[in-house]
Amino acid sequence: MLKESHKQKLLENYGIDPQNPSITDMIDRGLLRSVTREEAAALLGLDLNDPGLESGGVYLEYPGTDGAAFTIRLDVPYRKDGKERKYMRPAGQGNRLFVPPWTDLEKTQELWLTEGEFKALAVSLRGQPCVAVAGVFNWRTNVVEAEPLAAALELEGEKTPDRLAIIPDFQEEWVGGKAFVLWYDSDIRPDHQAYPAFQRLAEQLYRLGAVSVKILTVPPVKGSGKTGLDDYFLEREKAGKNALAELNALADETEEYLPVGDGARAYAAAVAGDRNPPVAKCVRAVAAVLVAEGEAAAEEVAEEIDRRRARALLKDAKRLVKALKEKEKRADEARARKRAKKELERLLSEARQADELERLREAVQAIRTQEKKKAAEVQREVFELTAAVLTSLGKFYVDDQDHTYWFSTKEKILYRMDSREWNRLLTSATGLTDSEVLGNAVRKLLDAHAAQTGEKVVINQISYFDRESLNLYLHLYNGRVLRLSGQQIEEIDNGTDGVLFLARREWVPWDFVPEILTDAAKRAEAARWFERFCLNGNFDPTSPLSPPDAKTVLLTWLLAGFFRSLLPTRPILLLRGETESGKSMLARLILRLVYGGLADVGKQHEREENAMTYLTNYPWTVFDNVDEHVDWLPDLLAIVGTGGELPKRKLYTTNELERFKFDTWLILTARTPRFKRDDVATRLLPLRLAPLTKKEPESRLLAEVADPENRNLALSYLVILLNQIVAVFRQYGLPDTDEDIRLADYAAFLRAFLRGSAGDRREADAATNRIITAIQQLQAEFLAENDPLLDILTEAIEDGAVEEGKPIKTNELFAALAGYCRAKDYEVPVRHPVWLARRLVEMQAAVKVRGLQVLITTDGKTKTSTFTFERIST
């Protein structure tokens, strides 16, 4: 019984009229019937609980097999492992030839063969005898059946030869003397990897006595996708065309297949037995044997066909073979390209869907090895693939300085796209180095892509304080971040809350030790390590800053470095001291604690390019032993102190500018600093260190800070201090006090810290004021030390060259000092009266250090300044 819905599908999908007597006979005999899902499962040997089987379908039995061979066209395709199958046969069913029940093979002179039983029915109903195999290679017996035969015959190789594997349905009795037309669906053309299937069948048909075998591909019909014979008949008949006549005309124009294997000798024998064969066919017969068996056999065949023309036949056969080999070579190359393309598509698909970059390398290599592909096309394809994979595995970003980044959503690591880390990652993922043309081009295209499509963000390195949420974020360097709220310390992924951190490869990740929150002994140990690594300076007791206050300044400077959004101006820490005062070791320990590994102090300030690199790329920097005069250094220090930017010409360009942002927390160490300038000095936190009386081996200190457990404890204690500051900000608000010092941001932070630490607000304010006053005095002393102008001015006043207490105009003062210098054979410290006036205005605090006070008045009309110098008690 065939359901009405299935009858309708036969008519609509295949052009098979269910009212045709031949079809009704099949239905009546049970060869064509509807089956339920349960019946389909039983026939196919599937479990009823198999989720892949969702429906029944149309059962089509191979006539003459008594149900041993059949196929079921399912209403809903069977789904398994991401694949769909519309036509199903039970596992283990042998391959058979489908012959419509009304077709008499022995009486048929021309027989078509195609892939698909329903197609054979559709064609045969239109008057053209047609048989079918279930697949293009299904004219061979199943491997399960064929391999024992091959083993019994002691045949070598994995597969049974075609002459033994051809299914028994192909018998010499009915194949002999017939002309065959083998039809592929429209998708299988000479460049398709399955195209040789029917060529191999043709060899066997010739061997069994076929007189002609032609191999054709069904012309595609617009709008029908892959076109089979049934599709072609349906669409052309709808258009009012005679589809059978069109296909016969196409077959007539097609040259028969020339057997060059098992069928060659039989083909040649048939030609030789013909009384008057065409010359062209004679040449083809000789050519067939020439390829299959060699020149001697071909000569023999040529003699059998036509002794008088044997030499000419052989010569023409050689030409034909050469032409055929070239044609087959092109077909092989086309198939190879198609296979490579299909493999490439698979690799590209896998690379795009993979959850790691490792799958990208193979796909890139496949693109590179494509034949006849222009360099520009390869470049574009590799870029598009790489960009797609990177987008699926992460996200592109761009900062306010137009630097581009890629963020790995799996590793939670951010890569700057001009860094060594990014270069290594891309080389590992794609196999493309930046030294080769393709690799360099792809990197540039990715950078441009990120600049155009990347999300605008602020990139952080060590910490970020959010002024809105009042949360502080600390980077652990391993794709993890600590979020400090004042009440909680949480470990979260990099990128959480939209806060992104960039780490350098050389920075050593660290771990927060939560035990110090509850274990008093552990916390005390952590505090000792923190103080030993960060606050263990031998501060000068004769300094205006007492050692306890100096330690407070050092601590708050360190803590403030984690709240940079609160300090747009950057205090520069100056550690001053004689040789063996421990200033360099103190700076080195701070760097080792923050960065880990072998981070060290050095002479980065001796070359401007090196200094720029550190000041614009590293969040914590040390310039060690800054004792020599460097012309450009004061300018850079002034920019560092304001947290500003410096435009510079981009390397390898003509006039393209690049903006370098200075966002570092800078430590300077010096014995006799030479960078004295008022706008620099007032950005300094000068701490004086005294020579060490008890010297500890530096190797011991460095080994201690290198120990991961010690470093984790010290940094964990730092986290507690930072969390306490966040709690203070939540309770009392952010620092916003007015301060009488140029380092107002730092002073406000200091006051807020002391107010939060001390129980008495007045006591905290008194301590803050005392420290600020001492800092200002140290700044003034710094400016006053060894200043040529101050030295000459003080000496000139003492010698009476400049009269004390008497007003003197700028020009007159300049002339007096210049005359005094000439008399003493000194070099004039300034070159112009205007510069003299400017220096004296800047140096008022320094003048006081020399025991002098300068009163400055300016004439409103003439804009000239008048100076009065008076002695004050020091």
What does 430-467 look like in DSSP terms, one character per residue?
HS--TTSHHHHHHHHHHHHHHHHHSEE--EESSEEE-T
**644-683: b or e for each residue (b if 16 or more CB lie within 10 Å)?**
eebeeeeeeeeeeeeebbbbbbbbbbbeebebbebebbbb
User: Nearest CA to 715 among 872, 518, 562, 546?
Assistant: 562
- End-of-domain residue from the set 732, 763, 780: 780
What residue numbers bound the domain in which 68 lies?
1-93
- How much is the average pLDDT of 151-158? 44
461 pLDDT above the threshold of 60 = yes
Are 538 and 648 members of one domain? yes
651 pLDDT above the threshold of 60 = no
685 pLDDT above the threshold of 60 = yes
Query: Is residue 484 within 8 Å of residue 472, measured between CB atoms?
Result: yes
Q: Is residue 751 part of a domain?
A: yes
Are 756 and 793 members of one domain? no
Please write the tens of the pLDDT for every residue from 537-553.
999 999 999 999 999 99
Helix (H) or strand (E) holding 534: helix 520-534
3-class state of residue 761 by DSSP: helix
Query: Is residue 132 within 8 Å of residue 115, measured between CB atoms?
Result: yes
Non-local (6+) Cβ contacts of 483 within 8 A are 471, 472, 473, 489, 490, 491, 492, 496, 497
Are 554 and 632 members of one domain? yes
CA distance 311 to 299: 8
User: Do the strands 212-217 and 179-184 form a parallel or antiparallel pair, or are they unpaired?
Assistant: parallel
> Quick one: pLDDT band at residue 648, thresholds 50, 70, 90?
low
326 pLDDT above the threshold of 60 = yes
- How much is the average pLDDT of 680-705? 92
> Quick one: pLDDT band at residue 413, thresholds 50, 70, 90?
very high
pLDDT recorded at residue 151: 46
Q: Which residues pair with 113 in a beta bridge?
A: 131, 182
- How much is the average pLDDT of 473-493? 96
pLDDT recorded at residue 150: 43
3-class state of residue 221 by DSSP: coil
CA distance 576 to 574: 6
**Which of 19-28, 145-154, 362-371, 609-618 has the lowest average pLDDT?**
145-154
Are 371 and 420 members of one domain? yes
Q: Is residue 823 part of a domain?
A: yes
CA distance 594 to 620: 8
pLDDT recorded at residue 681: 86
Q: Is residue 246 part of a domain?
A: no
> Quick one: pLDDT band at residue 155, thresholds 50, 70, 90?
very low
Q: Is residue 509 part of a domain?
A: no
> Quick one: pLDDT band at residue 152, thresholds 50, 70, 90?
very low
Please write the tens of the pLDDT for every residue from 2-43.
999 999 999 999 999 999 999 999 999 999 999 999 999 999
CA distance 183 to 254: 12
Kindly report the CATH number assigned to the domain that includes residue 821: 3.90.1150
Kindly report the CATH number assigned to the domain that includes residue 605: 3.40.50.300
For the chain, the maximum distance between any two Cα atoms, rounded to a whole number of angstroms, is 142
> Quick one: pLDDT band at residue 503, thresholds 50, 70, 90?
confident
343 pLDDT above the threshold of 70 = no
Return the higher-pLDDT residue of 484 and 786: 484
Q: What is the CA radius of gyration of the chain?
A: 46
517 pLDDT above the threshold of 80 = yes
Return the higher-pLDDT residue of 343 and 870: 870
Task: Tell me which residue has tokens 């009823």.
Answer: 48
Q: Is residue 262 part of a domain?
A: no
Distance from CA of residue 61 to its chain's centroid? 54
Percent of the chain past pLDDT 70, that is, above it, reads 94
pLDDT recorded at residue 473: 98
User: Nearest CA to 719 among 529, 544, 546?
Assistant: 529
153 pLDDT above the threshold of 60 = no
Are 709 and 850 members of one domain? no
Cα 453-459-462 angle, rounded to 5 deg: 155
Are 742 and 683 members of one domain? yes
pLDDT recorded at residue 158: 42
> Quick one: pLDDT band at residue 594, thresholds 50, 70, 90?
very high
pLDDT recorded at residue 577: 92
Sheet containing strand 808-809, edge to edge, reads: 808-809, 865-871, 852-858
pLDDT recorded at residue 314: 87
Are 725 and 819 members of one domain? no
Q: Is residue 178 part of a domain?
A: no
147 pLDDT above the threshold of 50 = no
Cα 624-625-626 angle, rounded to 5 deg: 95
Non-local (6+) Cβ contacts of 54 within 8 A are 37, 74, 76, 78, 79
Are 833 and 695 members of one domain? no
**Which of 356-370, 438-452, 711-725 has the lowest average pLDDT?**
356-370
Return the higher-pLDDT residue of 348 and 627: 627
Please write the tens of the pLDDT for every residue from 743-755.
999 999 999 999 9
Task: Tell me which residue has tokens 């018998």.
Answer: 171
- End-of-domain residue from the set 760, 780, 800: 780
In angstroms, the Cα distances linking 850 to 526, 770, 856 are 45, 21, 17
Percent of the chain past pLDDT 90, that is, above it, reads 60
Q: Is residue 111 part of a domain?
A: no
pLDDT recorded at residue 820: 92
pTM value? Answer: 0.65
Are 557 and 633 members of one domain? yes
pLDDT recorded at residue 345: 67
> Quick one: pLDDT band at residue 157, thresholds 50, 70, 90?
very low
- How much is the average pLDDT of 155-160? 54
In angstroms, the Cα distances linking 416 to 157, 360, 407 are 55, 20, 9
Please write the tens of the pLDDT for every residue from 197-236.
999 999 999 999 999 999 999 999 876 678 999 999 999 9
Non-local (6+) Cβ contacts of 76 within 8 A are 54, 55
- How much is the average pLDDT of 167-187? 95
Number of H helices, E strands in the chain: 32, 27
Q: Residue 17 is encoded by which pair of tokens?
A: 């009229």
Q: Output the average pLDDT for the chain.
A: 89
Torsions phi, psi for 356 (to 5 deg)? -150, 160
Task: Tell me which residue has tokens 């609509």.
Answer: 12
Are 86 and 15 members of one domain? yes
CA distance 60 to 74: 11
CA atoms within 13 A on the CB side of 682: 14
Q: Residue 695 is encoded by which pair of tokens?
A: 């010297």
- If one counts the domains in the chain, the total is 4
308 secondary structure, DSSP code:
T
Please write the tens of the pLDDT for every residue from 78-110.
999 888 999 999 988 999 999 999 999 999 999
pLDDT recorded at residue 146: 44
> Quick one: pLDDT band at residue 148, thresholds 50, 70, 90?
very low
- How much is the average pLDDT of 314-336? 84
Please write the tens of the pLDDT for every residue from 237-261.
999 999 999 999 999 999 999 999 9
> Quick one: pLDDT band at residue 847, thresholds 50, 70, 90?
confident
**Which of 63-67, 101-105, 272-276, 521-525 has the lowest average pLDDT?**
272-276
Query: Is residue 260 within 8 Å of residue 232, measured between CB atoms?
Result: no
Q: Is residue 474 part of a domain?
A: no
* E-state strands within 468-522: 472-475, 480-484, 489-493, 500-501
- End-of-domain residue from the set 440, 457, 474: 457
Are 367 and 400 members of one domain? yes
pLDDT recorded at residue 849: 82
- How much is the average pLDDT of 618-643? 88
For the purposes of burial, counting CB atoms within 10 Å of the CB of 180, is it exposed (0-12), middle (13-18) or buried (19 or more)?
A: buried
Helices 420-430 and 437-453, interaxial angle, to 10°? 120
Are 711 and 834 members of one domain? no
The DSSP annotation for 326-347 comes to HHHHHHHHHHHHHHHHHHHHHH
Query: Is residue 539 within 8 Å of residue 545, measured between CB atoms?
Result: yes
Return the higher-pLDDT residue of 874 and 830: 830
CA distance 776 to 773: 5
pLDDT recorded at residue 392: 87
- How much is the average pLDDT of 411-417? 93
> Quick one: pLDDT band at residue 373, thresholds 50, 70, 90?
confident
CA distance 199 to 337: 20
